[in-house]
Amino acid sequence: MMKSLLQSIALLLALLGLAGCQTTPSSETISKAPSPVSPQPVIPEEPAEAYVFSWGNLPAEVANPRGGATRGTPVALAEPRQLPLATIANTEDPFEKDRAAILSLAGDYKASFHFLETMGLFSEHEPVRPYHSWSTEQVRILEDRVDFISLQHTLVMYFQQEDGSVMGPMVMKHWRQDWTYQDTNLHAFRGTGTWERDTRSPESVEGAWSQSVWQVDDSPRYEAIGRWTHQGNRSTWTGENSWRPLPRREYSVRDDYGVMEGFHRIVITPTGWVHEQNNWKRVQGEASETPDYRGHELGIDRYELITAPDLSKADEYWEKTGPYWAAVRQAWKDVYSENERFSLKSKVDGRSQFEHHFEYAGKLDAGETWDPETGAAFAKATIENYLNQETDSTNY
């Protein structure tokens, strides 16, 4: 079962990368041949080109996005909503407007991910392929304690086979976003697999919300303070400049930088919401006194509400595995409360941390009985095994 579980996880991560379908430029190579009557010099074939936003025409092999190459099944988009959302418009309280906006991020979505490197800051730089993938995922409200809201993303993917048949659904726990009102206790990414407590004054975070983002195994990624604004039919949250570890889509193809530095914004739309990113590619974090950058990228993640396919398999998964993941989250709360600073090992005995957690959750999903004491002990021991006093180059 363990081998099958890890193969399924690897398939989702590799094919989704996240994943989805890959677009193909429509331009064609034009071949010019000499006339059989009046021989002429052979004119070399002109390389096919395609337009790329901000770059103009590029060779087709560069313009063609990288990302997942599988075909997901068709989706049915929900009807667009009127803005502002009724839950936002029906209150005058700024705090309640913020809460309504955050809670509206939950739902069933087609999520598409688009990233483009807009410039390089070194002499040898050349344009690189854009990134595009998509998935279908459920965003569920995991907790709502008024001034704290936790939203859990779960991938639920159906794959279209070459013979027309459908494989799936394949279900996998994905990332999590936690929102905390007037948060004064943050942990900031410092580079090289290290996080450090960042204490803010109450005055500096008045009216603000932090968004903390967690990996598929509930280990940390980044945390930033930002503010919601509601103006007419526009509701947006804009985060401060922050550092983040490289995402899978980058560290799988790049090893010349180690920190994403930038700000991001969430916008409520009639069809769902959009996550905008503005990222500088920084070589090192705190290890470098003078920052050195490789380039810059823009990213747009679109979350479009859908009515099909059915993503309810995520509910079944969380009914069976939810208690274990709650134990994992509690173990991380203990790490945060007990450590001003900590680092994480990328691998222990050749295995990533997520493998252990997914193996344990997979047994529960397959029908094993949940034992709170044993499960909590396993979650705590697993996390402690990856804690490191030395810095490490941690990839996710």
Burial class (CB in 10 A: 0-12, 13-18, 19+), 216: buried
On average, the pLDDT of the chain sits at 90
DSSP character at residue 348 = B
CA distance 14 to 68: 7
Max distance between CA atoms of the chain, in angstroms, equals 87
- Asked if residues 168 and 25 have their Cβ atoms less than 8 Å apart, the reply is no
Map residue 258 onto helix, strand or coil: coil
pTM to 2 decimal places = 0.89
Are 351 and 358 in contact by the 8 Å Cβ rule? The answer is no
Q: Report the length, in residues, of the chain.
A: 396
Listed residue (207, 205, 153, 204) closest to 178, CA to CA: 153
Residue with the two structure tokens 């459920």: 138
Residue numbers of the chain with a pLDDT score lower than 70? 1-47, 69-70, 389-396
- Give kind and range of the element (H or E) at residue 243: strand 242-244
Q: What confidence score (pLDDT) does residue 30 get?
A: 29
Can you give the pLDDT at residue 72?
87
Instruction: Write the single-letter amino acid at 229.
Output: T
Q: For position 20, what pLDDT does the model report?
A: 33
Give bridge partners of residue 109 from the DSSP assignment: 137, 305
User: Strand, coil or helix: what is 42?
Assistant: coil
336/10 Cα distance (integer angstroms): 29
255-to-251, 258, 281 alpha-carbon distances in Å: 6, 7, 11
Task: Please tell me the distance from the alpha carbon of residue 109 to that of residue 308, in angstroms, as a whole number.
Answer: 9
pLDDT at 162: 85
Residue 5 pLDDT: 56
Is the distance from CB of 179 to CB of 210 less than 8 angstroms? yes
How many of the other CB atoms lie within 10 Å of CB of 35? 7
| Residue 181 identity (one-letter amino acid) | Y
| pLDDT computed for residue 395 by the predictor | 55
